[in-house]
Amino acid sequence: MTLRDDLLRLFPRLRDLPTHAYVVGGAVRDLTLGAAPADVDVACLDPLVCARALRRKVIRLGREEHLSAYRVVDGLHIYDFAALLDGSIDADLARRDFTINAMAVDLESGELLDPHNGRADLGRRVVRMIDAANFDDDPLRMLKAIRMTVRFDFEVDAETLDAIRVRAPRIADVAVERVAYELTVIFSANAFRRAVTLLRETRLDVPLFGRSLDTDFHADDVPLAAALALLVDDAHAFAKRWRLSDALMREIQTLQRLIESHALLDLYDAGEPIARQLPPMLRALGRDDRVTFPDFAIKPLLTGDEIAQIAEIEAGPRIGMLKRALLEQELEGRVTSREAAEEFVKKF
C-alpha cells in the first residue's frame, strides 16, 4: 500500500479534488513514521476551489484574500488548503521549516516528493532545517524545532542549533499568542528535562524567560503549571507578557509560594489540580528518592492511632499536628523507617 493509498483511506474526500494537488507536511511525516494523522494539509494552485469541492462548510484562515488558507472539517478529520508558494511544489517545499516536514505526496501520480531528504532524516531521528533563512521568514520555527524534538524524541542537527543560537533574540518578534501556544505544547510533552536543556542550548531561554535556565532537573513528567513554576521568576510578569490565563498564573504563583516557603506538603491541602503537582515537582527537584507517591498520596509511616499510643496523648488536634510534622520529615527524607518515625514522635 502506498502513501497515497493510506491518505485516500484516511481522508476519503481527497478523491473529490478537481485539480492537481499535493498532500504536504505533517500528514506525510506521520504516515512515514507509521502514525495516523488526524488532519491533512493540501497545497494546490487554487485552495478555495479545492476546499469547496469537498462540499462542506469552508472556513477562511487568513485575513487577506490572496494569502488565505481554507479549512474544511469533516467529522473527526480536518482538511487545510493553501496555495502553492511561488506556484510550484519544489518552491513550496523549499520554504518550509524542517526536512521532515518538507515531503509531499502527489495525489495524481502517487509519487513521494522528498527533495530535502526528509525521509532519511526521519530514519536518523534528526530535526534539520532546510535553510537558515527560513527562520528569518518566521522566527517561531526556532521554537518549533524544540517541539518537534521533544515530541518525537529526536536530536537537533548541529547546523540547525547554530542557526537558532544566532537568531534566538528574534523570538521576541513573534506574536505572543503563537509563542505561548508552542511553550504550552512543549511543556505538555512529558519531556521536561529535554525541553529545558534544548531551550538552554539554543539560547531561546534568555528572550523567553529573561535568564539562562538551570538544567539540574531529574524528571520529565512535570505538568505545565509545575514546569513554569520551576522556571519562571515572576509568574505575574511572565503570564502578562505571554498572555497566559489568570487561572494558570494563579496556579504557578501558588506552587512558587509553596516551594519558597518549603511548604510543599501544603499541596495536599490545596485540592485539585494543585495536589497532583507535588510528586512530579519533587522528582524534578530530585527530592523524592526516598519517598514514593502511589496515587499521588504519601503513605505515612505511622497512623494517627499509633502516634497517639506512642506519644501517650488523647485524640485531638495534637495528633494532627504530630502527624503533619512526621509527614514533613518523611517528605524531606529525614525520617525513612518506622523505627525512626517512632523515635521522632517520642522526641517531638
With cell 469533516, the residue in question is 74
Same domain, 115 and 42: yes
Residue 116 pLDDT: 97
Assess contact for 71 and 58: CB atoms under 8 A: yes
49-53, 153-157, 304-308: lowest mean pLDDT where? 304-308
Residue 295 pLDDT: 39
Residue 297 pLDDT: 44
Query: Residue 4 half-sphere exposure, CB side, CA atoms within 13 Å?
Result: 12
pLDDT digits (tens, 9 = 90+) for 171-216: 999 999 999 999 999 999 989 999 999 999 999 999 999 999 888 8
Same domain, 71 and 14: yes
Burial bucket for residue 5 (CB in 10 Å: 0-12, 13-18, 19+): exposed
Same domain, 79 and 7: yes
Number of domains in the chain: 4
Same domain, 291 and 317: no
Distance CA 318, CA 105 (A): 71
Same domain, 278 and 196: no
Distance CA 344, CA 161 (A): 52
pLDDT digits (tens, 9 = 90+) for 92-146: 999 999 999 999 999 999 999 999 999 999 999 999 999 999 999 999 999 999 9
Same domain, 179 and 274: no
- Domain end (from 106, 123, 140): 123
Helix axes 317-331, 338-347, angle to 10 degrees: 130
Same domain, 67 and 172: no
DSSP 77: E
Same domain, 5 and 103: yes
Residue 147 pLDDT: 96
Helix axes 235-242, 246-260, angle to 10 degrees: 160
Burial bucket for residue 117 (CB in 10 Å: 0-12, 13-18, 19+): middle
Same domain, 10 and 90: yes
Q: What is the pTM assigned to this prediction?
A: 0.76
Same domain, 13 and 114: yes
Which residues, in sequence order, are bridge partners of residue 106?
Answer: 22
Same domain, 33 and 115: yes
Same domain, 7 and 48: yes
With cell 507535588, the residue in question is 278
Across residues 294-315, what is the average pLDDT? 70
15-19, 64-68, 180-184: lowest mean pLDDT where? 64-68
3-state secondary structure (DSSP) of residue 93: helix
Residue 178 pLDDT: 93
CATH number at residue 101: 3.30.460.10
- Domain end (from 123, 139, 170): 123
CA distances from 126 to 31, 37, 98, 146, 161 (A): 17, 20, 10, 12, 12
Domain of 254 in residue numbering reads as 217-296
The two beta strands, 58-60 and 70-74, are: antiparallel
Burial bucket for residue 114 (CB in 10 Å: 0-12, 13-18, 19+): buried
CATH number at residue 183: 1.10.3090.10
